[in-house]
Structure 1
């Protein structure tokens, strides 16, 4: 009889492990075993808290069984606007106490949405979040002074970090208050492998450049108003993967093309000048961006796979400039631009690349509605004898 009971318990646990969240919650009410083990199963899945009511229920759930469930929480998303401390029954003291007095040894992934606002309204939460020791992945934003204080004090060894900078944050370059990612993240220089920076706007004085991050492999830069790469090249010398989305990616139109080009050229000169004097990356495995993004970067290094998007009004001279700066092995070219098949478009690019180091070209074309269809695509491509694989797709938008 005891053997049958044990088998029955094992079967129940297997069934529960595949149950939906709602079903598992219901199963927890059926017996003591599932009440205890089912709770562990629930918190081992990603938990997303979207409002104060959810948070209240979640905190009560974690406090059950003397807070032992905290040790099994793995992946938490907090997207809430906590009541201010002056309101009745605020949640922040309960959350602060939970963070301070219980073990979260399995919590490896945390996303904090609206972090700066919450930490400013509830400063005691900063110490609680900073005390977490098991985090390897953190997504936090918008970044401001309170958020930066948590990062500086955080006891975890982060490997993956997403930083969303707050619009209007004072990003002055002084040593005491600098909030450039490579400066504020020195605490994680021996562990960080992937960094996603969104909305950082200021440049960094070379006097404030930091020691290298030896484990960094991937950098994602999203919407920097000041796209200067020297601090990242210096800090991440062994990096392998780069993705760039500058403010110019979606801003080029027929009307502002020449105005934006002046600014693009200024940043390009600065980036190329820095790399000429101080060096660039030796080799990148993958690089991803639009024509303006990569033209601004002026990368002077070897690139194994370059994923280059040419959008409506992007000048093809930017494509050519990018390919002349870098030594590209495999080019993945995604084209949905005006006049792509005209002489100033793809034909110009291909003719200049015949004698380059390119080994393979993957070409994806979407023709604009007003594009002429009487062009011979093969005639456009044939002059580039370097092509080892060609993939064409035609469509209208």
Structure 2
């Protein structure tokens, strides 16, 4: 019998396999041969390592010290949940972190408490000169001190001031001078040359136009996320981050009159020829409708994802105003079915407006609640509005679960008893001609080459029709798929 021939695979190919595999696959690859035992271990440590219990730390440290402690230099990213760990293991962990000379990312879910409980953590972290990202979901005076002591080029920072329970930045008694000192623009100015992404949550902000402390400019800043209870003045950020491309904003709830006041004031300041102006162009906004409305941005925004769970009739004016200025190429929203009823002020009218003339991609989820609504007629009206748009891509979902009287809440199974007869809205859904609707779209939208239309209802009945793009569905690399799907 001829001897079996074992094929020889080039080491470079094996390395590419290891470095393109997820951690669990790498763990299995390590068992196959000596070469992959080394290369797959390196690949595993390129991924983020999450440590949240003693057993995970124990296994991780035993993995690190293999191969004569050579694996330390391959660790790139750590996410730590320190308040669940024993003191001895925390000390042992940070003794080892001190040897991770190429660590670029460190997230501590409870950084302020950890620095208070284990003061030596700060001494270790401030000596990591390779660090590029630092994050803490609790931030206060100890995190501030750590940031001031860091000697590295941070490109990304994630801070949450709201979870500190003693002297937090939510304290209304804090002096204006102190709040201004720790406004992100002046506070992080040591990284004007490197910072490209900032996530800032829970802090109180001020209206500070003209304050000399806010003169720093961050030319590399691209992504900004702000979450807070009060309304932040956008002008310091506009001045400081002139090249911003991604903006996410969630502010506390405001009365309509107060929101309109903020918007009017900001529009005036950004349109003032003697003022700072606004961003030239934003690639992507994600967040609440009211937050974007209050910011009063006058620049074009290519992609807008509104994260409110359900837009109501009272939101149409805000949405129309935003679209007028943003002129998005892509829009994602979820709205009450009532927005389809009024042809003059509803969603269809908004899409017929000047600001929607650039829309190439649209994702709309509609949740009708009015059991007397003629949904079929409303959808036909929407199709007429879509017909004038340059749409290439469409996702339309009509979710009829709120019409179902056998389901008291979304997610609750229908009652097993004999169901009541369909109400008027459910009957309109059952009679809706989805094939005819798709034909109308293809006839009136010649550029439409990627579409999914789903009708959920009445009750458990579901329909779906697709227009498949030639070559398969495709999104450019780097785009967030959650913007473009239901």
- Please state how far the C-alpha of 1:366 moved relative to its aligned partner: 1.1
- Is the counterpart of residue 366 in structure 1 residue 366 in structure 2? yes
CA RMSD, Structure 1 to Structure 2 (Å): 3.9
Please name the residue that 1:323 is paired with. Answer: 323
CA distance in 1 between counterparts of 2:44 and 2:365 reads: 46
- Is the counterpart of residue 393 in structure 1 residue 397 in structure 2? yes
Please list the CA deviations of residues 13-39 of structure 1 after superposition, one character each: whole Å capped at 9, or x if unmatched: 8699569669949968x9998887776
The 3 A distance-change label for structure 1 pair 111 and 385 is: same
CA distance in 2 between counterparts of 1:8 and 1:240 reads: 44
1:299-314 pair list within 5 angstroms: 299-308=297-306, 311-313=310-312, 314=314
Contact 1:82 1:91 in 2 (8 A): no
Deviates more, 1:144-153 or 1:370-379: 370-379
Please name the residue that 2:406 is paired with. Answer: none
- Please state how far the C-alpha of 1:315 moved relative to its aligned partner: 1.9
The 3 A distance-change label for structure 1 pair 138 and 237 is: same
- Please state how far the C-alpha of 1:180 moved relative to its aligned partner: 2.1
Aligned counterpart for 2:133 among listed residues 137, 145, 170 = 137
Aligned counterpart for 1:247 among listed residues 238, 247, 252 = 252
Contact 1:213 1:235 in 2 (8 A): yes
- Is the counterpart of residue 104 in structure 1 residue 101 in structure 2? yes
SS in 1 for 2:336: coil
CA distance in 2 between counterparts of 1:137 and 1:360 reads: 35
Please name the residue that 2:197 is paired with. Answer: 194
In structure 1, list runs of 5 or more residues that go unmatched.
Answer: 1-6, 249-258
Please list the CA deviations of residues 31-51 of structure 1 after superposition, one character each: whole Å capped at 9, or x if unmatched: 998887776455344322112
SS in 2 for 1:358: helix
SS in 1 for 2:73: helix
- Please state how far the C-alpha of 1:194 moved relative to its aligned partner: 1.9
CA distance in 2 between counterparts of 1:286 and 1:338 reads: 26
Contact 1:199 1:225 in 2 (8 A): no
CA distance in 2 between counterparts of 1:143 and 1:40 reads: 32
The 3 A distance-change label for structure 1 pair 357 and 49 is: closer
CA distance in 1 between counterparts of 2:256 and 2:22 reads: 56
Contact 2:316 2:347 in 1 (8 A): yes
Contact 2:186 2:216 in 1 (8 A): no
- Is the counterpart of residue 282 in structure 1 residue 280 in structure 2? yes
Deviates more, 1:48-57 or 1:34-43: 34-43
- Please state how far the C-alpha of 1:145 moved relative to its aligned partner: 1.3
The 3 A distance-change label for structure 1 pair 213 and 339 is: same
In structure 2, list runs of 5 or more residues that go unmatched.
Answer: 1-7, 402-486
CA distance in 2 between counterparts of 1:267 and 1:334 reads: 23
For normalisation by structure 1, the TM-score amounts to 0.78
CA distance in 1 between counterparts of 2:351 and 2:46 reads: 52
- Please state how far the C-alpha of 1:213 moved relative to its aligned partner: 0.3
The 3 A distance-change label for structure 1 pair 307 and 45 is: closer
The 3 A distance-change label for structure 1 pair 264 and 160 is: same
- Please state how far the C-alpha of 1:396 moved relative to its aligned partner: 1.9
The 3 A distance-change label for structure 1 pair 95 and 274 is: farther
Aligned counterpart for 1:50 among listed residues 49, 52, 56 = 52
- Please state how far the C-alpha of 1:290 moved relative to its aligned partner: 3.2
CA distance in 2 between counterparts of 1:334 and 1:22 reads: 38
SS in 1 for 2:114: helix
CA distance in 2 between counterparts of 1:22 and 1:329 reads: 41
Please list the CA deviations of residues 53-109 of structure 1 after superposition, one character each: whole Å capped at 9, or x if unmatched: 433454455456675432221121111216687xxxx34443444444x3522x122
Please list the CA deviations of residues 329-357 of structure 1 after superposition, one character each: whole Å capped at 9, or x if unmatched: 42514232252113232244245x14x57
The 3 A distance-change label for structure 1 pair 34 and 274 is: same
Contact 1:350 1:381 in 2 (8 A): no
Aligned counterpart for 2:153 among listed residues 154, 157, 167 = 157
- Is the counterpart of residue 114 in structure 1 residue 110 in structure 2? yes
Contact 1:227 1:267 in 2 (8 A): no
The 3 A distance-change label for structure 1 pair 128 and 49 is: same
The 3 A distance-change label for structure 1 pair 329 and 291 is: closer
The 3 A distance-change label for structure 1 pair 316 and 261 is: same
The 3 A distance-change label for structure 1 pair 22 and 54 is: farther
Number of corresponding residues: 373
Contact 2:169 2:204 in 1 (8 A): no
The 3 A distance-change label for structure 1 pair 32 and 222 is: same
